[in-house]
A and B are shown apart, each in its own frame.
Chain A
């Protein structure tokens, strides 16, 4: 198979390096000598998947174990899929070019809802039955984790077990169980394996839970069917970020990938508390790495990869309490070797611009800020702690330092939004243009302000989880309205396809019932939905019709505050009471402080999970 693929298939596909698996630092273990074999599956193309830090972390942690190997597989691009289907070849892992069905477990990562069709397509290409109930004792275990697993229900029929939360420690528990099961008495029963896995903290095995519904389609309850599973599954969380293994010899792809640089995580979680933001809720509490850990890891990473750029990653790196010191040390250390430092996620304030100034000798790149909303009222609703003054100071600093292009991210379709808020977006954009012109003077010809508007999608485990999404028509109207307002030589306006956002909302907030529509859409050819050229809106609508799923029931309906939500049996640490109180504060336009700088706001995470707010350069407010 390997020879055939190399000689007959790879020469015919675009970017054959996507399927080669022999990159620097890739791990190739002896198949026969390794008792447990897993494959990490990313339901998008190689360039996207290889840019994902979670993959790098798990690949390293698992392959450090002597008894387990982990290989990789990505969604094959359409040309490769065509070749595989034409020659009757199964989807294979990159490292050893083996069919996925040969592995003990396939671990999917779920980064966005619109990759679900790719997940089904990958199982199908591997010749593996899609539904867990159709998979007998000899099929690989199909696992899934990642942010969208916090509402596992739309994928429940297809996945054997979900892991909620951070995988660094939980993966060892899971491997231990698989290994024991493989060594146990034959014939081995899959049900025994699932039973053991369901006992691991953070693991959710959907087939052990039954969902019952009211006549109107809302949920009556999600109830365990067996005695050995918890009624709510709580996420896993790592306590000490310095203590967990972080890969310092990650794979260095040959071909260019989306984030083609060292990704060095400096902190995890964010407690700024934006009310639409799922990451800001599910990755709590904030835990920072010590500066010394970061500098040591950076040294090893440069030595082991040869990359010329270190990106200090997190949800918001300017919030790292030791960011200044770390930047200075890294630049002193690597400046002369041609290795640069970059900060991918900056707050909209002058402190952040100062940081950016420090790291960027060349002002070629665009600076990006995310005010998210156009009026102070709306920013209070969403709890975005950025004022117009903050933003104006930030862009002033940027223009004065020589940047000529600035990107502003906004969200439209937010709860309680009015056209005044849209006007606010336009006003803000024009203020930035004016400021740019004033400061740049005769260089104003180079000024370019990009305004990017995404559409609000209500997400589970956020204060806005109950909120109805705007209809597609309403979103499109708002986009058109802004497009008209933002016509200007110095402005570029772009927006996301509203049709895609409405389907995303269905799978973001759907119950198990939407699984049928997903399966149908896939069967009718939907895949790579988040790639414009492949998104088939009409096919999706037909799939909803044919399976009797009303998409609006999940996207455009405001969920009742006392309704059982499809994900209520999943515990992300943040309590429903906290989310509810945040929901109410939103509509009374009250802001809630960041627990890093003010009192603990009792979100529930540090109270209920074995982890706590952990800052290295500031005092902790977390309760004991």
Chain B
């Protein structure tokens, strides 16, 4: 069955939607748009669609991904323009492509997530001392957090999951850039990184209400970060691809 992969953003106006809300928003937009989506077999058929990764409530994103399966062929560009008109403000499609039937599921593919996290600074702090603090923090082999689990709080070392951390002081705030493991390799949440780093630095900034934006989702492949669109175009067509959007990555 034809499969279409789309790249989309989730902006401020919809940042409080849960993953389930997003799933339903897409389901309904697809029906409004009249896209011939395929349904699963069985007693309780549901539309065949898969997201790359769930996004936490309150977090915006520049690049998320969804695959939908169609019951009849439709050009990726047409799917994109139809669904764009039916999506609520705040969710915007930036690219669409047909991907081969047999390409791996989004979920199984993505193993890195990149975030930008903005927090207010509490005292005098400049980029230089921040950077110095970060490199000391990153030198440690253990960054412990208490993880809430079904069996109560459990300690967990998140340091191996933090692949990159940089920060810049801009006026009275800090912009962090964080690369973490995601998906099949486990998840480290950006607010956990910022929280533990704030504790480490002695609360020189306020990690209580961080503004979090996901910059992208990737597959690390031979030390390069490839987006799901890159992965999909390795042997698929790229019709409907929005030029200039979605093809830059770290």
Contacts and interface: CB of A to CB of B under 8 A. Distances in A.
A491 to B, nearest CB: 27
B137 interface: no
B90 A17 contact: no
A24 interface: yes
A254 B30 contact: no
Interface stretch (A149-157, A301-309, A388-396): A301-309
Contact of B18 (A22, A255, A307): A255
A20 B90 CA distance: 12
Contact of B28 (A6, A8, A24, A362): A24
Interface string B1-40: 0000000000011101110110011011111101000010
B100 interface: no
B31 A361 contact: no
A23 B87 CA distance: 10
B44 A338 contact: no
A173 interface: no
Contacts of A361: 43
B88 A306 contact: no
B58 A256 contact: no
B209 interface: yes
A364 interface: yes
A41 B27 CA distance: 30
A11 B25 CA distance: 21
A254 B17 contact: yes
Q: Which secondary structure dominates where chain B touches chain A?
A: mixed
B243 to A, nearest CB: 29
Interface residues of A, number: 29
B88 A254 contact: yes
Contacts of A306: 27-32, 86
Contacts of B89: 22
B20 A304 contact: no
A84 interface: no
B57 interface: yes
A168 B74 CA distance: 43
Given A254-B17, A256-B20, A22 B90 contact: yes
Given A11-B209, A22-B13, A22-B90, A362 B27 contact: no
A16 B16 contact: yes
B58 to A, nearest CB: 5
Given A23-B88, A254-B14, A16 B31 contact: no
Contact of B43 (A6, A17, A303, A362): A362
A32 interface: no
B47 interface: yes
Contacts of A338: 31, 39, 45-47
Given A10-B16, A255-B18, 7 more contacts: A7-B211, A11-B58, A256-B24, A303-B34, A307-B31, A362-B43, A364-B43
Interface of B: 12-14, 16-18, 20-21, 24-25, 27-32, 34, 39, 43-47, 57-58, 86, 88-90, 209, 211
The 4 closest A-B pairs by CB, nearest first: A306-B28, A306-B31, A16-B16, A306-B32
6 contacts: A10-B16, A303-B32, A304-B32, A307-B31, A361-B43, A364-B43
